[in-house]
Amino acid sequence: MNADVLLGAYVFILAIFVGFEVISKVPTTLHTPLMSGANAIHGIIVVGAMLVVLAVPGTLGAILGFFAVVLGTANVVGGFVVTDRMLAMFQQRPRRPAKAEEKKP
């Protein structure tokens, strides 16, 4: 087993523990935004796609590389946009009282 794989295995195992620890307590309200945020984070695959975009010569290789970049980018961008939009829904509280008062008269 070479050093790279072994190092990778260390990182993998430690990241499992971090992943378990970091989100052990989440209020239900935040389950969906958290899922969406995690979804955006695995969009980091776009970096992998950029590294291998031309790894295989020929038209087919280029097409597959192109799609890998498209899908990875869509994952990142869409993931963060959706999460931000969800979280924005929870941010309206400070504005509310003022609004309600406006309506009263």
Of residues 2 through 21, those in contact with other proteins by CB under 8 A are: 2, 4-5, 7-8, 11-12, 15-20
| Binding status of residue 102 toward other proteins by CB under 8 A | no
Please give the Cα distance from 86 to 8 (Å, whole number). Answer: 34
Q: Please enumerate in sequence order all residues whose Cβ is within 8 A of that of 29, keeping only pairs 6 or more positions apart, or say none.
A: 90
Least distance from C-beta 3 to other proteins, angstroms? 10
Which residue has tokens 């945020």? Answer: 37
Instruction: Return d(Cα 35, Cα 28) in angstroms, integer.
Output: 11
Single out the residue of 27, 34, 30, 33 nearest to residue 86, CA to CA: 33
- Examine residue 98 and tell whether it contacts other proteins (CB under 8 A): no
Can residue 105 be called a binding residue for other proteins (CB under 8 A)? no
Contact pattern from residue 29 through residue 68 relative to other proteins, giving x for each residue in contact according to CB under 8 A and a dash for the rest: xxxxxxxxxxxxxxxxxxxxxxxxxxxxx---xx-xxxxx
Closest approach of other proteins to the CB of residue 26, in Å: 4
Contact 72, 43 (CB under 8 A): yes
* Nearer Cβ to other proteins (29/105): 29
